Protein backbone atom coordinates (compact mmCIF):
# COMPACT_ATOMS: atom_id res chain seq x y z
CA UNK A 1 0.00 0.00 0.00
CA UNK A 2 1.44 3.33 -1.07
CA UNK A 3 1.64 6.14 1.47
CA UNK A 4 2.86 9.71 1.36
CA UNK A 5 4.52 11.92 3.92
CA UNK A 6 5.83 15.48 4.15
CA UNK A 7 3.07 16.67 1.82
CA UNK A 8 0.56 19.50 2.15
CA UNK A 9 -2.93 19.62 0.68
CA UNK A 10 -4.38 23.11 0.36
CA UNK A 11 -8.10 23.45 -0.40
CA UNK A 12 -9.06 26.82 -1.86
CA UNK A 13 -12.75 27.50 -1.28
CA UNK A 14 -12.66 25.25 1.77
CA UNK A 15 -15.75 26.78 3.39
CA UNK A 16 -17.88 25.48 0.51
CA UNK A 17 -20.00 22.38 0.12
CA UNK A 18 -17.48 20.35 -1.92
CA UNK A 19 -14.85 20.44 0.82
CA UNK A 20 -17.29 19.39 3.51
CA UNK A 21 -19.10 16.66 1.54
CA UNK A 22 -16.30 15.19 -0.58
CA UNK A 23 -12.74 16.40 -0.04
CA UNK A 24 -12.40 16.20 3.74
CA UNK A 25 -14.14 12.78 3.94
CA UNK A 26 -11.85 11.50 1.16
CA UNK A 27 -8.75 12.72 3.00
CA UNK A 28 -10.13 11.28 6.22
CA UNK A 29 -10.40 7.84 4.58
CA UNK A 30 -6.87 8.13 3.22
CA UNK A 31 -5.59 9.05 6.67
CA UNK A 32 -7.39 6.17 8.37
CA UNK A 33 -6.05 3.69 5.80
CA UNK A 34 -2.49 4.86 6.45
CA UNK A 35 -1.97 6.36 3.00
CA UNK A 36 -1.42 9.85 4.43
CA UNK A 37 1.29 10.10 7.09
CA UNK A 38 1.46 12.08 10.31
CA UNK A 39 3.79 14.66 8.73
CA UNK A 40 1.16 15.77 6.21
CA UNK A 41 -1.16 18.73 6.69
CA UNK A 42 -4.45 19.84 5.17
CA UNK A 43 -4.94 23.60 5.01
CA UNK A 44 -8.31 25.10 4.20
CA UNK A 45 -8.38 28.56 2.68
CA UNK A 46 -11.25 30.87 1.85
CA UNK A 47 -12.83 34.24 2.34
CA UNK A 48 -14.37 33.40 5.69
CA UNK A 49 -12.43 33.82 8.91
CA UNK A 50 -12.07 30.58 10.88
CA UNK A 51 -9.81 29.44 13.67
CA UNK A 52 -8.44 25.91 13.19
CA UNK A 53 -11.00 24.56 15.64
CA UNK A 54 -13.87 26.42 13.95
CA UNK A 55 -12.81 25.04 10.57
CA UNK A 56 -12.63 21.47 11.94
CA UNK A 57 -16.11 21.90 13.34
CA UNK A 58 -17.39 23.46 10.08
CA UNK A 59 -16.32 20.43 8.01
CA UNK A 60 -17.37 17.99 10.74
CA UNK A 61 -13.86 16.51 10.95
CA UNK A 62 -13.39 13.09 12.51
CA UNK A 63 -10.77 12.52 15.25
CA UNK A 64 -8.53 10.86 12.65
CA UNK A 65 -8.19 13.82 10.28
CA UNK A 66 -8.81 16.72 12.71
CA UNK A 67 -5.18 17.06 13.96
CA UNK A 68 -4.01 17.55 10.36
CA UNK A 69 -6.57 20.30 9.57
CA UNK A 70 -5.63 24.00 9.64
CA UNK A 71 -7.14 27.15 8.20
CA UNK A 72 -5.83 30.34 6.62
CA UNK A 73 -8.04 33.09 5.23
CA UNK A 74 -7.19 34.00 1.63
CA UNK A 75 -4.09 33.48 -0.50
CA UNK A 76 -1.95 36.43 0.73
CA UNK A 77 0.38 35.08 3.42
CA UNK A 78 -0.57 31.45 2.66
CA UNK A 79 2.95 30.40 1.64
CA UNK A 80 4.49 31.74 4.84
CA UNK A 81 1.70 30.17 6.90
CA UNK A 82 2.37 26.81 5.28
CA UNK A 83 6.09 27.19 5.99
CA UNK A 84 5.26 27.66 9.67
CA UNK A 85 3.60 24.23 9.73
CA UNK A 86 6.63 22.35 8.41
CA UNK A 87 8.74 21.57 5.34
CA UNK A 88 6.81 19.89 2.56
CA UNK A 89 8.27 18.20 -0.50
CA UNK A 90 4.94 18.33 -2.33
CA UNK A 91 2.12 20.86 -2.15
CA UNK A 92 -1.28 20.05 -3.71
CA UNK A 93 -3.61 23.01 -4.23
CA UNK A 94 -7.20 22.02 -4.95
CA UNK A 95 -9.28 24.71 -6.69
CA UNK A 96 -12.73 24.22 -5.13
CA UNK A 97 -13.66 27.45 -6.89
CA UNK A 98 -15.75 28.72 -9.84
CA UNK A 99 -13.87 28.01 -13.11
CA UNK A 100 -13.95 31.70 -14.05
CA UNK A 101 -11.38 32.47 -11.34
CA UNK A 102 -8.94 29.61 -12.11
CA UNK A 103 -6.48 31.71 -14.09
CA UNK A 104 -6.43 34.63 -11.64
CA UNK A 105 -6.02 32.18 -8.74
CA UNK A 106 -3.05 30.52 -10.45
CA UNK A 107 -1.47 33.96 -10.91
CA UNK A 108 -2.03 34.77 -7.24
CA UNK A 109 -0.43 31.50 -6.15
CA UNK A 110 2.67 32.14 -8.25
CA UNK A 111 2.95 35.67 -6.88
CA UNK A 112 2.68 34.25 -3.38
CA UNK A 113 5.72 32.07 -4.06
CA UNK A 114 4.26 28.65 -4.88
CA UNK A 115 6.61 27.06 -7.39
CA UNK A 116 7.77 23.75 -8.84
CA UNK A 117 6.80 21.78 -5.73
CA UNK A 118 3.16 22.79 -6.29
CA UNK A 119 0.55 20.82 -8.22
CA UNK A 120 -2.80 22.46 -8.88
CA UNK A 121 -6.05 20.48 -9.28
CA UNK A 122 -8.93 22.04 -11.20
CA UNK A 123 -12.49 20.78 -11.65
CA UNK A 124 -14.67 20.80 -14.76
CA UNK A 125 -16.07 22.60 -16.66
CA UNK A 126 -12.71 23.38 -18.20
CA UNK A 127 -13.68 26.08 -20.66
CA UNK A 128 -16.99 26.60 -22.43
CA UNK A 129 -15.84 25.96 -26.00
CA UNK A 130 -12.63 25.60 -28.01
CA UNK A 131 -11.50 29.21 -27.67
CA UNK A 132 -12.22 29.57 -23.95
CA UNK A 133 -10.48 26.25 -23.27
CA UNK A 134 -7.40 27.35 -25.19
CA UNK A 135 -7.35 30.68 -23.41
CA UNK A 136 -7.63 29.05 -19.98
CA UNK A 137 -4.86 26.58 -20.83
CA UNK A 138 -2.67 29.44 -22.04
CA UNK A 139 -3.21 31.50 -18.91
CA UNK A 140 -2.60 28.61 -16.52
CA UNK A 141 0.60 27.74 -18.43
CA UNK A 142 1.89 31.24 -17.71
CA UNK A 143 2.10 30.32 -14.03
CA UNK A 144 2.49 26.54 -13.82
CA UNK A 145 3.95 23.98 -16.25
CA UNK A 146 1.53 21.48 -17.80
CA UNK A 147 3.04 18.61 -15.80
CA UNK A 148 1.89 20.40 -12.60
CA UNK A 149 -1.71 20.99 -13.78
CA UNK A 150 -4.17 18.23 -12.89
CA UNK A 151 -7.62 18.43 -14.55
CA UNK A 152 -10.12 16.15 -12.84
CA UNK A 153 -12.49 13.83 -14.65
CA UNK A 154 -14.32 11.81 -12.01
CA UNK A 155 -15.35 9.07 -14.41
CA UNK A 156 -11.70 8.10 -14.93
CA UNK A 157 -11.48 7.22 -11.23
CA UNK A 158 -14.31 4.70 -11.46
CA UNK A 159 -13.15 1.10 -11.19
CA UNK A 160 -15.27 0.06 -14.16
CA UNK A 161 -13.65 2.68 -16.40
CA UNK A 162 -10.13 1.70 -15.31
CA UNK A 163 -11.04 -1.92 -16.00
CA UNK A 164 -11.58 -1.13 -19.70
CA UNK A 165 -7.86 -1.15 -20.48
CA UNK A 166 -7.30 -4.35 -18.48
CA UNK A 167 -10.15 -6.07 -20.32
CA UNK A 168 -8.81 -4.98 -23.70
CA UNK A 169 -5.08 -5.47 -23.27
CA UNK A 170 -4.78 -8.26 -20.72
CA UNK A 171 -7.04 -10.77 -22.47
CA UNK A 172 -5.90 -12.40 -25.71
CA UNK A 173 -9.48 -13.63 -26.15
CA UNK A 174 -10.78 -10.14 -27.02
CA UNK A 175 -7.90 -8.10 -28.38
CA UNK A 176 -7.88 -9.62 -31.92
CA UNK A 177 -11.58 -8.82 -32.44
CA UNK A 178 -11.43 -5.20 -31.28
CA UNK A 179 -11.73 -3.60 -34.74
CA UNK A 180 -14.03 -2.91 -37.68
CA UNK A 181 -13.66 -6.47 -38.97
CA UNK A 182 -15.76 -7.82 -36.09
CA UNK A 183 -17.53 -4.93 -34.34
CA UNK A 184 -20.70 -3.45 -35.84
CA UNK A 185 -21.13 -0.48 -33.46
CA UNK A 186 -20.08 1.03 -30.14
CA UNK A 187 -22.85 2.51 -28.01
CA UNK A 188 -22.35 4.71 -24.95
CA UNK A 189 -25.36 5.42 -22.77
CA UNK A 190 -25.52 7.75 -19.76
CA UNK A 191 -29.02 8.15 -18.36
CA UNK A 192 -30.12 10.15 -15.35
CA UNK A 193 -33.42 9.54 -13.65
CA UNK A 194 -33.80 13.03 -12.17
CA UNK A 195 -34.06 16.41 -13.82
CA UNK A 196 -31.82 19.38 -13.01
CA UNK A 197 -33.22 19.68 -9.46
CA UNK A 198 -31.22 22.41 -7.63
CA UNK A 199 -28.54 22.73 -10.34
CA UNK A 200 -30.63 24.84 -12.70
CA UNK A 201 -28.36 27.88 -12.58
CA UNK A 202 -25.24 25.92 -13.55
CA UNK A 203 -26.88 23.46 -15.92
CA UNK A 204 -28.78 26.03 -17.95
CA UNK A 205 -25.47 27.63 -18.87
CA UNK A 206 -23.96 24.29 -19.85
CA UNK A 207 -26.31 21.54 -21.06
CA UNK A 208 -25.55 17.82 -21.31
CA UNK A 209 -23.11 18.21 -24.20
CA UNK A 210 -20.82 20.37 -22.10
CA UNK A 211 -21.63 18.69 -18.80
CA UNK A 212 -21.26 15.05 -19.89
CA UNK A 213 -20.18 14.46 -23.48
CA UNK A 214 -17.15 16.75 -23.79
CA UNK A 215 -15.46 15.25 -20.75
CA UNK A 216 -16.74 12.00 -19.20
CA UNK A 217 -18.09 10.28 -22.30
CA UNK A 218 -15.27 11.39 -24.61
CA UNK A 219 -12.78 9.97 -22.12
CA UNK A 220 -14.58 6.62 -21.95
CA UNK A 221 -14.78 6.51 -25.75
CA UNK A 222 -11.04 7.16 -25.99
CA UNK A 223 -10.18 4.34 -23.59
CA UNK A 224 -12.52 1.96 -25.40
CA UNK A 225 -11.06 2.62 -28.86
CA UNK A 226 -7.42 3.70 -28.43
CA UNK A 227 -4.43 1.70 -29.64
CA UNK A 228 -2.31 -0.20 -27.12
CA UNK A 229 0.09 2.19 -25.34
CA UNK A 230 3.82 1.40 -25.32
CA UNK A 231 3.74 1.33 -21.50
CA UNK A 232 1.18 2.03 -18.79
CA UNK A 233 2.85 5.34 -17.95
CA UNK A 234 0.40 8.24 -17.96
CA UNK A 235 2.04 10.00 -20.91
CA UNK A 236 1.96 6.90 -23.13
CA UNK A 237 -1.74 6.39 -22.40
CA UNK A 238 -2.42 10.07 -23.03
CA UNK A 239 -0.75 9.90 -26.47
CA UNK A 240 -3.13 7.16 -27.57
CA UNK A 241 -6.21 8.96 -26.25
CA UNK A 242 -5.16 12.09 -28.12
CA UNK A 243 -4.83 10.09 -31.35
CA UNK A 244 -8.44 8.94 -31.03
CA UNK A 245 -9.69 12.49 -30.45
CA UNK A 246 -7.75 13.71 -33.48
CA UNK A 247 -9.50 11.14 -35.66
CA UNK A 248 -12.98 11.68 -34.21
CA UNK A 249 -15.79 13.56 -35.96
CA UNK A 250 -19.53 14.05 -35.43
CA UNK A 251 -21.62 12.72 -38.31
CA UNK A 252 -25.13 13.37 -36.99
CA UNK A 253 -26.64 14.70 -33.80
CA UNK A 254 -29.93 15.66 -32.15
CA UNK A 255 -30.69 17.75 -29.09
CA UNK A 256 -33.73 17.40 -26.83
CA UNK A 257 -35.27 19.08 -23.81
CA UNK A 258 -37.68 17.50 -21.35
CA UNK A 259 -41.14 18.99 -20.97
CA UNK A 260 -41.27 21.34 -18.01
CA UNK A 261 -37.54 22.09 -17.99
CA UNK A 262 -38.12 25.80 -18.59
CA UNK A 263 -40.22 25.96 -15.43
CA UNK A 264 -37.44 24.55 -13.24
CA UNK A 265 -35.92 26.87 -10.58
CA UNK A 266 -33.15 29.16 -11.92
CA UNK A 267 -33.77 28.13 -15.55
CA UNK A 268 -34.38 30.71 -18.28
CA UNK A 269 -38.07 30.45 -19.32
CA UNK A 270 -36.94 30.74 -22.97
CA UNK A 271 -34.00 28.38 -22.57
CA UNK A 272 -32.67 26.46 -25.59
CA UNK A 273 -30.32 24.39 -23.40
CA UNK A 274 -30.41 20.67 -24.20
CA UNK A 275 -31.18 18.16 -21.45
CA UNK A 276 -30.73 15.25 -23.88
CA UNK A 277 -28.27 14.63 -26.68
CA UNK A 278 -27.79 11.83 -29.17
CA UNK A 279 -24.75 11.69 -31.46
CA UNK A 280 -23.30 9.50 -34.15
CA UNK A 281 -19.53 9.79 -34.44
CA UNK A 282 -16.87 8.14 -36.61
CA UNK A 283 -13.22 7.47 -35.84
CA UNK A 284 -11.31 8.01 -39.07
CA UNK A 285 -8.49 5.53 -38.67
CA UNK A 286 -7.67 2.03 -39.96
CA UNK A 287 -8.96 0.21 -36.87
CA UNK A 288 -12.38 1.83 -36.71
CA UNK A 289 -13.27 3.14 -40.18
CA UNK A 290 -16.89 2.24 -40.90
CA UNK A 291 -17.88 1.57 -37.27
CA UNK A 292 -20.43 4.07 -35.91
CA UNK A 293 -20.00 5.26 -32.34
CA UNK A 294 -23.27 6.31 -30.76
CA UNK A 295 -23.56 8.47 -27.66
CA UNK A 296 -26.83 9.08 -25.82
CA UNK A 297 -27.14 11.01 -22.57
CA UNK A 298 -29.76 13.02 -20.79
CA UNK A 299 -31.70 13.96 -17.71
CA UNK A 300 -35.21 12.97 -16.54
CA UNK A 301 -35.04 9.71 -18.50
CA UNK A 302 -36.70 7.50 -15.90
CA UNK A 303 -33.62 5.43 -15.04
CA UNK A 304 -30.09 5.95 -13.80
CA UNK A 305 -27.34 4.07 -15.58
CA UNK A 306 -24.10 4.45 -17.51
CA UNK A 307 -23.11 1.66 -19.87
CA UNK A 308 -20.93 0.99 -22.89
CA UNK A 309 -22.22 -1.57 -25.36
CA UNK A 310 -20.10 -3.34 -27.97
CA UNK A 311 -22.28 -4.93 -30.64
CA UNK A 312 -20.52 -7.45 -32.85
CA UNK A 313 -21.41 -8.11 -36.47
CA UNK A 314 -24.04 -10.71 -37.31
CA UNK A 315 -23.02 -14.15 -38.44
CA UNK A 316 -23.62 -15.14 -42.09
CA UNK A 317 -26.88 -16.94 -42.91
CA UNK A 318 -25.46 -20.39 -42.43
CA UNK A 319 -25.77 -23.26 -39.96
CA UNK A 320 -27.56 -22.03 -36.83
CA UNK A 321 -28.27 -18.66 -38.46
CA UNK A 322 -29.75 -19.86 -41.74
CA UNK A 323 -32.80 -17.60 -41.31
CA UNK A 324 -30.72 -14.58 -40.25
CA UNK A 325 -32.51 -14.15 -36.91
CA UNK A 326 -29.62 -15.03 -34.61
CA UNK A 327 -28.79 -12.13 -32.30
CA UNK A 328 -25.22 -10.78 -32.56
CA UNK A 329 -22.87 -11.05 -29.59
CA UNK A 330 -22.65 -8.09 -27.27
CA UNK A 331 -20.36 -6.99 -24.46
CA UNK A 332 -21.83 -4.57 -21.93
CA UNK A 333 -19.55 -2.58 -19.62
CA UNK A 334 -21.62 -1.42 -16.66
CA UNK A 335 -20.11 1.76 -15.21
CA UNK A 336 -22.81 2.81 -12.74
CA UNK A 337 -24.80 2.29 -10.56
CA UNK A 338 -23.56 -1.33 -10.74
CA UNK A 339 -20.03 -2.19 -11.78
CA UNK A 340 -19.53 -5.21 -13.97
CA UNK A 341 -19.20 -6.72 -17.44
CA UNK A 342 -21.85 -8.83 -19.19
CA UNK A 343 -21.05 -10.91 -22.28
CA UNK A 344 -24.08 -11.89 -24.34
CA UNK A 345 -23.65 -15.14 -26.26
CA UNK A 346 -25.62 -18.01 -27.80
CA UNK A 347 -26.00 -21.50 -26.27
CA UNK A 348 -27.93 -24.69 -26.95
CA UNK A 349 -31.01 -25.25 -24.79
CA UNK A 350 -30.48 -28.46 -22.75
CA UNK A 351 -32.69 -31.39 -23.71
CA UNK A 352 -33.35 -30.17 -27.25
CA UNK A 353 -31.84 -31.11 -30.57
CA UNK A 354 -30.99 -27.74 -32.05
CA UNK A 355 -32.91 -25.15 -30.09
CA UNK A 356 -30.64 -22.27 -29.19
CA UNK A 357 -31.06 -19.27 -26.90
CA UNK A 358 -29.27 -16.18 -25.64
CA UNK A 359 -27.35 -16.44 -22.39
CA UNK A 360 -25.03 -14.16 -20.41
CA UNK A 361 -21.62 -14.46 -18.82
CA UNK A 362 -21.82 -12.15 -15.85
CA UNK A 363 -18.91 -10.53 -14.01
CA UNK A 364 -19.76 -8.43 -10.95
CA UNK A 365 -16.83 -6.58 -9.41
CA UNK A 366 -18.09 -6.56 -5.83
CA UNK A 367 -19.06 -10.25 -5.95
CA UNK A 368 -15.62 -11.20 -7.23
CA UNK A 369 -13.51 -9.12 -4.86
CA UNK A 370 -15.75 -8.15 -1.94
CA UNK A 371 -17.69 -5.00 -1.10
CA UNK A 372 -14.87 -2.55 -0.28
CA UNK A 373 -13.54 -2.60 -3.84
CA UNK A 374 -14.75 0.77 -4.99
CA UNK A 375 -13.15 3.72 -3.26
CA UNK A 376 -14.50 7.22 -3.60
CA UNK A 377 -13.29 8.99 -6.77
CA UNK A 378 -11.76 11.82 -4.75
CA UNK A 379 -9.70 9.38 -2.67
CA UNK A 380 -8.12 7.92 -5.79
CA UNK A 381 -7.62 11.26 -7.51
CA UNK A 382 -6.13 13.02 -4.49
CA UNK A 383 -3.79 10.10 -3.83
CA UNK A 384 -2.65 10.06 -7.47
CA UNK A 385 -1.96 13.80 -7.35
CA UNK A 386 0.15 13.32 -4.22
CA UNK A 387 2.05 10.53 -6.01
CA UNK A 388 2.50 12.63 -9.16
CA UNK A 389 0.51 10.11 -11.23
CA UNK A 390 -1.42 11.93 -13.98
CA UNK A 391 -2.96 8.82 -15.60
CA UNK A 392 -6.48 9.63 -14.39
CA UNK A 393 -6.20 13.33 -15.13
CA UNK A 394 -6.84 15.08 -18.44
CA UNK A 395 -4.26 17.04 -20.41
CA UNK A 396 -4.69 20.45 -22.02
CA UNK A 397 -4.52 18.89 -25.47
CA UNK A 398 -7.29 16.41 -24.66
CA UNK A 399 -9.64 19.15 -23.43
CA UNK A 400 -9.09 21.27 -26.54
CA UNK A 401 -9.48 18.37 -28.96
CA UNK A 402 -12.71 17.22 -27.27
CA UNK A 403 -14.12 20.74 -27.57
CA UNK A 404 -13.07 20.85 -31.23
CA UNK A 405 -14.99 17.63 -31.97
CA UNK A 406 -18.16 19.22 -30.57
CA UNK A 407 -17.52 22.70 -31.95
CA UNK A 408 -20.47 22.74 -34.37
CA UNK A 409 -22.81 20.89 -32.03
CA UNK A 410 -22.73 22.84 -28.75
CA UNK A 411 -23.97 26.11 -30.20
CA UNK A 412 -27.05 24.75 -31.99
CA UNK A 413 -30.52 25.89 -30.90
CA UNK A 414 -32.82 23.32 -32.53
CA UNK A 415 -34.54 21.09 -29.97
CA UNK A 416 -37.21 18.43 -29.76
CA UNK A 417 -39.31 17.88 -26.63
CA UNK A 418 -39.59 14.60 -24.76
CA UNK A 419 -41.75 13.50 -21.86
CA UNK A 420 -40.14 13.65 -18.45
CA UNK A 421 -39.47 10.22 -16.98
CA UNK A 422 -39.16 8.36 -20.27
CA UNK A 423 -36.42 7.58 -22.78
CA UNK A 424 -37.26 9.33 -26.07
CA UNK A 425 -37.37 7.35 -29.28
CA UNK A 426 -34.03 7.61 -31.08
CA UNK A 427 -34.01 10.89 -32.99
CA UNK A 428 -31.33 9.46 -35.30
CA UNK A 429 -33.07 6.14 -35.90
CA UNK A 430 -30.36 4.23 -34.00
CA UNK A 431 -31.04 0.60 -33.09
CA UNK A 432 -30.02 1.06 -29.47
CA UNK A 433 -29.09 -1.86 -27.26
CA UNK A 434 -31.68 -2.31 -24.54
CA UNK A 435 -29.38 -1.72 -21.60
CA UNK A 436 -32.20 -2.34 -19.12
CA UNK A 437 -32.04 -6.00 -20.13
CA UNK A 438 -28.45 -6.34 -18.91
CA UNK A 439 -28.30 -6.38 -15.15
CA UNK A 440 -25.21 -8.03 -13.68
CA UNK A 441 -26.92 -8.89 -10.41
CA UNK A 442 -24.44 -6.87 -8.36
| Cα diameter, the chain | 81
For 132, residues 6+ apart whose C-beta sits below 8 A from its C-beta are none
Pick from 63, 52, 40, 62: nearest CA to 14 = 52
3-state SS, residue 39: coil
3-state helix, strand, coil in the chain (%, to 5): 35, 25, 40
Distance (Å, whole) CA 258 – CA 364: 33
Q: What is the 3-state secondary structure (H, E, C) of 205-260?
A: CCCHHHHHHHHHHHHHHHHHHCCCCCCCCHHHHHHHHHHHHHHEEEEEEEEEEECC
Count of H-run helices and E-run strands, the chain? 14, 16
CA distances from 232 to 87, 89, 169, 175, 235 (A): 32, 25, 11, 17, 8
Residue positions annotated with a catalytic role: 216
> How far apart, in whole angstroms, are the C-alpha atoms of residue 340 and residue 87?
43
Query: What is the spatial order of strands in the sheet that 330-336 belongs to?
Result: 356-364, 340-348, 330-336, 305-312, 183-191, 292-298, 276-283, 248-258, 416-418
Amino acid sequence: MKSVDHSAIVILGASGDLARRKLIPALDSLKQSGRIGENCVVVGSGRKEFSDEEFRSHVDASPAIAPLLHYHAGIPGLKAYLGGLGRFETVIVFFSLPPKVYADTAAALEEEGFGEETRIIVEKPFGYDVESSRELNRRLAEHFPEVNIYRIDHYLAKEAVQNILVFRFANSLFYPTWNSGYIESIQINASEELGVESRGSYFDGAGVLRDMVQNHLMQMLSLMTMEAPVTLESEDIRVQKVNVLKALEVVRFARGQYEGYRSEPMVDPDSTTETYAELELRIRNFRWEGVPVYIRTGKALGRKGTEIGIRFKKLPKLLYNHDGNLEPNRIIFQIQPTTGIVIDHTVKVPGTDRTIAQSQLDFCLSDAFGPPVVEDAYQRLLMDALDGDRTLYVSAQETELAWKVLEEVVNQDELFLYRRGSMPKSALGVDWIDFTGYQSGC
